Amino acid sequence: MEGTPASVKTGEGTAVHPIRALKKIFSRRRRKKQKKILAVALGCGGAKGMAHLGVLQALEEEGIFFDWYAGTSIGSVVGALKAYGYATDEIKDAVLNICLKQYARYLRPYMDMGFVEDVLNGYLHDIDFKRLKAPFYAWATDKETVEGVLLDSGSVAHACTASCAIPPYFHSVNVSGRELIDGVYTNPVPADVLRVRGADFVLGVDLNAALPSDRNKKPHNMLTRVLSDTLDSTVKITPRPDALSRGYEACNAVIRPPLDIFTPLDAAENSLLEMYDIGYRTAKQQAAFIKRKIREIY
């Protein structure tokens, strides 16, 4: 019929309408250019979490931004604030304020996590997971069974307090009838959570928080040194054998700032700022490698 485009043959000899053939070509090109999901798993570490902010700041300066976040303990706090929409430098100011004012005021053995949740809600405004600007997952541990627990619904601040409840410094936190404690015992760098949900690239940030060698080091601050001496020996929970390996195996790359001279209780301002700088420098040094790993997924 006049005006009707002629059919064309593919390499297999099958006749295909030319317009449909062009649509297939453009469709393939769009799929190839489709944005990949970049995710980051932020590990536990107490005060060492300041290094997370240095890492994120350095990578953002290099043009590397993340779509999804997962975190354990202090990593969950940083991840939640990023998923809420805070800029990294805003979180840095918030952490300094929390540590210098709230931390010093309330620090004592077997603390209830209520005040922590109140502080977090001062920044998160009682937000629910489904209202965050970016997907976020927190990881905790069931106190009775020592099984890992994924937290991805309900109050974000409440989930973060459960993820941060390291015994014997803090009481466990009840979530849906389960007594939960710090996720360090089951998944200190929860990269596998992001991988299972479909992230194309997962960066892990490990702050060395789970290393036994930390127990042989003492915090720089006198109050936290006393707490460390009196409480460390009372922890009876044994981490799961695959706690660290499960996260590492799910990562495309891992950043591990050298924080060996610090402990999770080093909350003095000079220590926090030094840990931030270490995280920043480490990420800058590895930025080219991470960019190369990201290019590999396209």
Residue 86 CB partners (closer than 8 Å, separation 6+): 94, 123
Distance of CA 82 to the CA centre of its chain: 10
User: Which residues are CB-neighbours of 277 under 8 A, at least 6 positions away?
Assistant: 54
Our measurement of the distance from residue 16's CA atom to the centroid of its chain's CA atoms, rounded to an integer in Å, reads: 49
Rounded-to-integer distance, Cα 81 and Cα 290, Å:
23
Query: Is 73 assigned a catalytic role?
Result: yes
Residues 6+ apart with CB under 8 A from 285: none
Q: Spot the catalytic one: 73, 155, 163, 271.
A: 73
Helix (H), strand (E) at residue 22 = helix 18-33
- Please indicate whether residue 213 is annotated as part of the active site: no
Catalytic residue among 172, 182, 192, 266: 182
Catalytic residues: 73, 182
